[in-house]
Structure 1
Amino acid sequence: MTIDVKLLRDWDDVARDADGALDRARQPSLFDRLEWHRLIAALGGVSGDTLVARARDADGATWLPLLIHGRQGQPHANWYTLAFDAIGKRSLKPLSSIVKALKDQLDMLSLSPVPPNSLLPSALRESGWIVREWAATVRWEVDTRDGFDAYWSRRPGQLRSTFKRKAKAAALDIVIHRAFELEGWAAYDQVYAQSWKGDEGAPAMLRALAEQEGAAGTLRLGIARQDGRPVAAQLWLVENGRATIHKLAYAEDAKALSPGTILSHAMFRAAIDEDAVTHIDFGTGDDPYKRDWMDRAVPLLRIDAYNPRTLRGLAGAARAAVSALVRRAARR
């Protein structure tokens, strides 16, 4: 079967070439859509040249979107990207054709966070790259098809007790916005500015994402207020039976109220019983509090691949091998 490989360097060219195949209607995951990558390119705070490698055969197309710095490649992604993988038809032959073609362009590829079932490591090895992969972080997730009450009954006793004690005393007013509203977004900004978190990475992109997903009906922006003052905020997206928690924060001086716990209880209940989601994930990171709300941690990979046809690729592979030996020796 003939596989056509094309290297595209502009998102308008990608759009013309894809002819709708990267639109919402045909890509169930946010991170696989053209509109997501346009947001990153315009507002995501990334640098580098765009390179989208596309392979097409009679059965469909595969895309691998990258940012290029000299002869090094990385994902076309930023800190809001919760998963990175090939897009479209995920099978070994077209993906191998893509990474084989990239050997003429690059000395090294560094990709993350890659799901554990990705074919990228196999495709890279099959195409002659020297590959190192390891679990760089995790994604916590839970299945919720049996309803909120069953889900809640499985949570740790301390979490359920904290909610029961605090919810009545705090008397928070909770609103979950399902469309973008200036009042709700101002409340989110206010909470985030008063939280323990640092500066938002790309606030204009996050707002544009909220506007985009609000128009699409997937936005769930939860705001908890005490006496009219916003004290906790969470940004979820709900689509195709899946809810993803993208952002959460609470005002540091309201910590004693447990506003994050109270708002999370309302958000989980709404997602499970009103939106009827069957799966929820908590984004990336192994923060201890996520264990209370989730059931399992899924490893997310970092893949470093070195091109053995170039001196820089071989040198990079050698440095990586030495570093790995040093780390193993230090653990003994």
Structure 2
Amino acid sequence: MKNLSVHNGFDEFIQSNPDAVTARDDADFFLTLIWFNNLAKTASPEHHHERIYSVKKSTNGSSSYTICPMWANYSTMFGWPVRHLCSMTNFYTSLFRPFAAGESREVIPDIPDLIAAMTATTSDWDTIHFHPMDTSDPCFETIQSALDHAGIAIQTYFCFGNWYLNVNDRSFDDYFIALPSKLKNTIARKTKQLQKQHRLTLKIIQSEDELSAALNVYEQVYQASWKTAEGFPEFISGLVTSCARQGWLRLGIAYIDEQAVAAQIWIVHHRKASIYKLAYDKHYAQFSIGSILTAHVMQHVIDIDQVDEVDYLTGDDPYKKDWMSDRRERWGIMAFNLRTIVGVIAAIKHLGGRFAQSKIKRIRQIVQSGN
């Protein structure tokens, strides 16, 4: 039996479905209730409101869910009010799709129901936006098909490259041997130099008991780095705390003579390690301390956690190619409601003149009807 619902936030969703909290989570960390709940509570853009679309499936007394967290946002375009529905994502996000909670991992059959709920009322939304998505995931094509079936115009676009490592059952030593010679030699030479002239200490924090002090150290390193301040100051602390509670956190810290000089946030979930945040004190750049720490945490996730994949997440930064084995892409889907004048105007703006010519008759009908 299926039950489709829409809730105005995770608190409301969880109150109605308390078993979803303890249900088996999805394969990817960025597709879990823990990720989305922290994002919604600590990094919600101004004037964005939660809309949680879900399909509940009950079989033999147990429930499974397909959940699609979205944000509703209202703006203006050329003086017209615009109603946006967008995936619950921002610059902290590396992957999005409807996700599973429960024993059933099947989300594809539920996507048409979710899209139908989003497009059921013609006047609700002018645009619908999903990003960033894996084009090789069947969800990408299924969402496009469901939107097309609903009479929604679609544009797909490139978001960013994503470098990752297939471990292929190798040990860290086997992996390290295959790295570029320049990177291997730099790590070996700089490590030897530090151990000879200074006291080098490398730690990996995993438990919540150690987290408070370690988070303060991370913040100190981050502030001494080249990076700009966080857009949402509470997001990182919420992320690492929730991950530590689940046993997913690997917070690496490097010290030189008891001074913290580099820190990295890695997340290990379902045999996949995600390299989430990297920072080092810019005054210690000559020691290549970031690379030394990366190698240390990499050894841990390969040999101790025995992950199948290491993911460098967002972007085509040149250094990522040295550490990773493969590249894939993340794309977005922008959808335009052709039953509203603002939706048609947005479609023309994004899809161009040929599309506009094909829709002139439809625009006139909308204007005349006052829709």
Instruction: Tell me the TM-score normalized by structure 1.
Output: 0.90
Cα distance between partner residues in 2 of 1:221 and 1:35: 18
Aligned ranges for residues 1-332 of structure 1 at < 5 Å?
4-21=3-20, 23=22, 25-47=24-46, 48-56=48-56, 60-70=64-74, 71-88=83-100, 90-103=106-119, 104=121, 105-116=124-135, 117=137, 118=139, 119-144=142-167, 145-171=169-195, 172-180=200-208, 181-322=211-352
Task: Sort the Cα spacing of 1:213 and 1:317 in 2 relative to 1 into closer, same or farther, 3 A.
Answer: same
* DSSP 3-state at the match of 1:21: helix
Shift of 1:127: 2.7
Shift of 1:323: 8.6
Task: Sort the Cα spacing of 1:211 and 1:4 in 2 relative to 1 into closer, same or farther, 3 A.
Answer: closer
Cα distance between partner residues in 2 of 1:53 and 1:22: 16
Cα distance between partner residues in 1 of 2:215 and 2:314: 23
Cα distance between partner residues in 1 of 2:337 and 2:331: 19
Cα distance between partner residues in 1 of 2:352 and 2:34: 41
Cα distance between partner residues in 2 of 1:21 and 1:236: 25
Question: Cα deviations across residues 256-285 of structure 1 (Å, max 9, x unaligned)?
Answer: 100001001101001101111111101111
Q: Find the structure with the greater CA-based Rg.
A: 2
Shift of 1:288: 0.9
Cα distance between partner residues in 1 of 2:32 and 2:326: 27
Contact 1:22 1:32 in 2 (8 A): no
Cα distance between partner residues in 1 of 2:34 and 2:306: 26
Shift of 1:252: 0.8
The count of corresponding residues between Structure 1 and Structure 2 is 324
* DSSP 3-state at the match of 1:203: coil
Task: Sort the Cα spacing of 1:300 and 1:72 in 2 relative to 1 into closer, same or farther, 3 A.
Answer: same
* DSSP 3-state at the match of 2:159: strand
Contact 2:89 2:131 in 1 (8 A): no
Question: Cα deviations across residues 14-49 of structure 1 (Å, max 9, x unaligned)?
Answer: 113444235463334333333322212221142311
Contact 1:22 1:33 in 2 (8 A): no
Task: Sort the Cα spacing of 1:324 and 1:111 in 2 relative to 1 into closer, same or farther, 3 A.
Answer: farther
* DSSP 3-state at the match of 2:352: helix
Shift of 1:66: 0.6
Cα distance between partner residues in 2 of 1:3 and 1:309: 29
Contact 1:136 1:302 in 2 (8 A): yes
* DSSP 3-state at the match of 1:112: strand
Task: Sort the Cα spacing of 1:23 and 1:318 in 2 relative to 1 into closer, same or farther, 3 A.
Answer: farther
Q: Which moved more, 1:316-325 or 1:269-278?
A: 316-325
> RMSD value over aligned CA atoms?
2.1
Q: Which moved more, 1:10-19 or 1:156-165?
A: 10-19
Contact 1:7 1:54 in 2 (8 A): yes
Q: Which moved more, 1:45-54 or 1:306-315?
A: 45-54
Contact 1:224 1:232 in 2 (8 A): yes
Shift of 1:96: 1.6
* DSSP 3-state at the match of 1:138: strand
Contact 2:126 2:337 in 1 (8 A): yes
Task: Sort the Cα spacing of 1:259 and 1:149 in 2 relative to 1 into closer, same or farther, 3 A.
Answer: same
Shift of 1:90: 4.8
Question: Cα deviations across residues 168-198 of structure 1 (Å, max 9, x unaligned)?
Answer: 1123211111124232212211111011110
Contact 1:96 1:127 in 2 (8 A): no
Task: Sort the Cα spacing of 1:22 and 1:138 in 2 relative to 1 into closer, same or farther, 3 A.
Answer: farther
Shift of 1:251: 0.8
Q: Which amino acid counterpart does residue 289 of structure 1 have in structure 2? A: Y
Q: Which moved more, 1:90-99 or 1:312-321?
A: 90-99
Cα distance between partner residues in 1 of 2:307 and 2:38: 26
Cα distance between partner residues in 2 of 1:324 and 1:284: 34
* DSSP 3-state at the match of 1:79: coil
Cα distance between partner residues in 2 of 1:62 and 1:215: 24
The answer for unaligned runs of 5 or more in structure 1 is: 326-332
Cα distance between partner residues in 2 of 1:18 and 1:80: 27
* DSSP 3-state at the match of 1:83: coil
